[in-house]
Structure 1
């Protein structure tokens, strides 16, 4: 064996980056997440969710997961610095301190800011206040202790936080892991078949063209379906509005009919007749808007009928026929 060749061989060996498949079990534990959220300056956010056994995570597992997560964002994003959000509302100050010490001592990337949701229980919160003031200089990193989710939202927009942190960012860990492994498997396949680059390019181009053709067909089919479905929805909405308006007009007409029935007396003297005429006139003025609305609904709900003029005079015989004429 030629020992002098060993160093050269070592130097020529390509260092393979850490892949999700290498630490799949550690990632499944979800003690640290890269949800895709960004800080206000574009800094990638790493979340340390509530995890009661965080102190029991082996140092190697912690370092592997954090190293892998910090390797995913682009170099430009990573150069801004990472923002860590730690949810320790159900924890104790001793655990919070241990977590901060572990991050301060082993975080492999450029760390910009650590946001900590402190313990929510009164006694532990009081201890954390005192403990943080005493030890904040020991951590050698910028830490902000937060009392509530609203405090957190003052530092990070809700759209960049998961639902567990009061945000609206959709995140599914199992789906994230599936996507990561698929992307990395594809990258490794392309890399391992680089002598076949030309053939692979042709195959990929054919596959992409086939998929694009299928996408066009699907898009056209969906567009045709949507045009018909949208028309049905619009017609259904118009019908529902018409039904609602009809019920309202029907109630008003029934009320007017009851009022008119109360004026059926023809009067036994001049004063009584004048009073009834005055009441009838008042009722007619009151009923006119409802009758106009009813006539519009009748025209809108069916074919126009020029032989059905708008009823402007309120006489008993006309009112009795009004609802039936709609």
Structure 2
């Protein structure tokens, strides 16, 4: 039984090489707000927080692997749009981000939009550097002098307020929901693994050579089956509670995607439980038939002994 969702290390994962994903999400080096371009490709944003230089190469890779796993597989396969906001920063910072992206980006890049530095000196420098972009990077780079230029490619409803948009985005809420979603996904994977182990263990087990052995085996396996069923029921309850917490009036796209992810996990969980029940029904029927057969043989042998004694 395969369970798949949240295809990444996870918000709370530990790392021997730098900070965990959860630690890397907090400073907002890069964001996956759920916004889409007009061509429906997902958006990754590098906000203007003057902190990108604090990321090591390994941490950058870890963070981007995570963020590009957030959209659906279908969306991710279409490729990404990237916005680099450096209006309050220096031109060197713009180039540093572009170089890092050119070295590693775990997906197809449709276009990169650079909101260039706004100071007079940096503007002058960008005029010169602007011409080098189209030759230096393998992806398309569009340098924008203002956020209004972004509106040719993005509806304002898909951009956050810092980009002059209308998309309601709470980073703390997004992180909390990602953590909850991945905890639920991890729980499902653990249960699925337990079910697989149990089924592989009992499918070809020795069913015993006498009714007592077979009955003990049946009782033991039935007890474990009921225990696993209880875990499945508990997981379903947790998933439904998580879904209730996430569902609110006027959901934004990024929250809708979380709701959809939980719904997919619940559907997978339901299908997993059906497969497990079908397996147990067939297996327990086989054991019960074997128990009846061994009981019949035992009774038959006992009758033979009695008849033999009577005939003597």
**What TM-score, normalized to structure 2?**
0.59
In structure 2, C-alpha distance between the alignment counterparts of 1:210 and 1:111, rounded to whole Å: 37
Superposition RMSD in Å: 2.3
Q: Does 1:177 align with 2:151?
A: no
Q: How far, CA to CA, are the matches of 1:154 and 1:31 in structure 2?
A: 25
Give 4+ residue runs of structure 1 displaced > 3 Å after superposition: 196-212
Q: Following the alignment from structure 1 to structure 2, what is the Cα–Cα distance between the partners of residues 199 and 180? A: 26
| 1:27-66 superposed matches below 5 A | 27-66=25-64
Q: State the structure with bigger RCO (CA 8 A, min sep 6), 1 or 2.
A: 2
Q: CA deviation at 1:205?
A: 6.0
Three-state SS of the structure 2 residue aligned to 1:145 is strand
Q: Does 1:83 align with 2:69?
A: no
Q: Give 1:110 shift.
A: 1.1
The alignment status of 1:124 with 2:117, answered yes or no, reads no
Q: What are the equivalent positions in structure 2 for 1:1-326 lying under 5 Å apart?
A: 17-22=8-13, 23-194=21-192, 195=195, 198-203=229-234
Q: 1:145 to 1:205 in 2, by over 3 A?
A: closer
Q: Is the 8 A contact 2:32 2:67 kept in 1?
A: yes
CA distance in 2, matches of 1:209, 1:71: 23
- Report how many aligned residue pairs link the two structures: 197
TM-score, scaled to structure 1: 0.56
Q: Which runs of 5+ in 1 are unaligned?
A: 1-15, 213-326
Pair 1:21–1:166, CA change in 2 (3 A): same
Q: Is the 8 A contact 2:115 2:144 kept in 1?
A: yes
Offset, 1:135: 4.0
Give the number of the structure whose alpha-carbon radius of gyration is greater: 1
- State the alpha-carbon separation in 2 of the partners of residues 159 and 124 from structure 1: 30
